[in-house]
Structure 1
Amino acid sequence: MEELINSAREISTKKLVILFRLEPGCLGPDGVNHIDTFCHVAEQALVNLNSDVCHWFLAPRFDKNLIEIQYSLAGKVLSRDKAVKFIESFSQNLDEIEERFEDKLTQLINQYIARKR
């Protein structure tokens, strides 16, 4: 997690950092064995997704008490409302950005599962 925080600090303060915690079960019954690798590979595939306003980080969600999606800017955690306002300052919509992300993530999960068979 410390590595993730340090990487996030390196991102420009002009971009929203979005941390998405992914449940291992989304990769199938043995997902716990693949989730770390998948998160790393998927992050690389998401580098250009809305890269003008945000940067995506993926992490395994082993603790269900942790929220699924977390927003931060310049190292400070933001509420969803503040994240929405930040994205709107670029004339963009956070719901649409997240919908594109979820579509891409679903595609990446399906590709990953197909390859490990």
Structure 2
Amino acid sequence: MTATTAILEVIYRVEPGCLGPQGADYIEDFCKFSQPLVTSHTAGFMRWILVPRFDKSLPEMQCTLAGRSLNPAQAARYFALYQANADDLEAELNEQLTLLIDQYFGRW
């Protein structure tokens, strides 16, 4: 498997506070609820992995390829292979998560 055919896994740590003052009570279920919905709208070369962000010392976003962690420069080069930008993809994910929060809490 070459780097251009491997699936990039992007761990995205979701802040409990995005779910409101009681977010810590819901964040794990929210991540499980959101994962398949986010996956269905993800570019084919990568996969988002949503996890709660309980440890603030860990980065919000972390990329791995074939089980190896990538530093930000390496991740940027991988995204560039697919004419993609990590910041743009993260912004799209955040838009999705905003809609999913409303869906999770039954607001629409």
**TM-score (normalizing by structure 2):** 0.85
Displaced runs of 4 or more, over 4 A: none
Aligned counterpart, 1:75: 67
1:61 to 49, 53, 56: 53
Aligned runs of 1:35-46 on 2, under 5 Å? Answer: 35-46=27-38
Query: Which range moved further: 85-94 or 20-29?
Result: 85-94
2:21 maps to what in 1? 29
Answer 1 or 2: which has greater helix percent. Answer: 1
Aligned match of 2:41: 49
Give the SS at the match of 1:58.
strand
Q: Give per-residue Cα distances to partners, 1:69-113, cap 9 Å, x unaligned.
A: 101100001011111111111222222222211111121123324
What CA distance in whole angstroms lies between the structure 1 residues aligned with 2:89 and 2:44? 11
- Which structure 2 segments of 5+ residues have no match? none
Could you tell me which residue of structure 2 aligns to residue 17 of structure 1? 9
What secondary structure sits across from 1:29 in the alignment? coil
1:90-105 alignment runs, 5 A limit: 90-105=82-97
Question: 1:41 offset after TM fit, Å?
Answer: 0.9
Work out the number of aligned pairs and report it. 103
- Over the aligned positions, Cα root-mean-square deviation in angstroms equals 1.6
**What is the percent sequence identity of the aligned residues?**
37
Gaps of 5+ in 1: 1-12
What CA distance in whole angstroms lies between the structure 2 residues aligned with 1:108 and 1:14?
28
Q: TM-score, normalised by structure 1?
A: 0.79
2:79 paired residue number? 87
